[in-house]
A = this chain, B = another copy of it.
Amino acid sequence: MTTAPTAALGDRELALRDRARQVIPGGMYGHMNVEAFSSAHPQFMVSGEGCRVTDADGREYFDLMCGWGPVVLGHRHPGVTAAILDQLERGDCLDGTSPVAVEYAELLVDTVPAADWAMFCKNGTDATTTCVTIARAAAGKRKILVANGAYHGAAPWCALRGAGVTSEDQAHLIHYEYNDLASAEQAAAEAGDDLAAILVCPMRHDVRRDQELAEPEFARGLRALADRTGAALILDDVRCGHRLDLGGSWEPLGVRPDLSAWSKALANGQPLGAVTGVDALREAARSVYVTGSFWYAAVPLAAGLATLRELRKGQALPDMLRTGTRLREGLAAQAKTHGYKIRQTGPVQMPVLYFAGDDLSLGTAWAEAAVRRGVYLHPWHNWFLSAAHTDADIEAILDRTDEAFTDLRRSAR
Contacts and interface: CB of A to CB of B under 8 A. Distances in A.
Contact of A164 (B45, B133, B271): B133
Nearest to A133: B164
Interface residues of A, number: 116
B294 A43 contact: no
Contacts of A32: 96-97, 291, 295-296
A300 B271 contact: yes
Interface string A79-96: 001001100101111111
User: Quick one: copies of this chain in the complex?
Assistant: 2
A117 to B, nearest CB: 5
A91 to B, nearest CB: 4
A296 B88 CA distance: 21
Nearest to A121: B123
Given A67-B94, A95-B68, A289 B156 contact: no
A142 interface: yes
Contact of A47 (B91, B134, B292): B91
Contact of A157 (B66, B169, B263): B169
A30 B295 contact: yes
Interface string A365-399: 00000000000100000000000000000000000
A163 interface: yes
A25 interface: yes
B45 A94 contact: yes
B164 A19 contact: no
A192 to B, nearest CB: 15
Interface string A29-49: 111101000000111111111
A192 B96 CA distance: 45
A249 B163 CA distance: 29
Interface of chain A, main secondary structure: mixed
B47 A293 contact: no
A172 B171 CA distance: 13
Interface in A105-154: 105-106, 108-109, 116-119, 122-126, 129, 132-137, 142, 154
Interface of A: 12, 16, 19-20, 22-26, 28-32, 34, 41-49, 53-56, 61, 63, 65-71, 75-76, 81, 84-85, 88, 90-99, 101-102, 105-106, 108-109, 116-119, 122-126, 129, 132-137, 142, 154-157, 159-161, 163-166, 168-169, 171-172, 238, 263-264, 269-271, 277, 282-297, 300, 376
Q: Which 8 A-B pairs have the closest CB atoms?
A: A30-B291, A93-B269, A133-B164, A137-B164, A271-B294, A48-B91, A26-B286, A45-B94
28 contacts: A16-B102, A19-B102, A22-B106, A22-B117, A23-B102, A25-B286, A30-B290, A41-B96, A42-B96, A44-B97, A44-B102, A45-B94, A45-B98, A46-B91, A46-B94, A46-B99, A48-B93, A53-B96, A55-B96, A65-B95, A70-B93, A76-B91, A81-B88, A84-B88, A124-B293, A137-B163, A161-B289, A163-B287
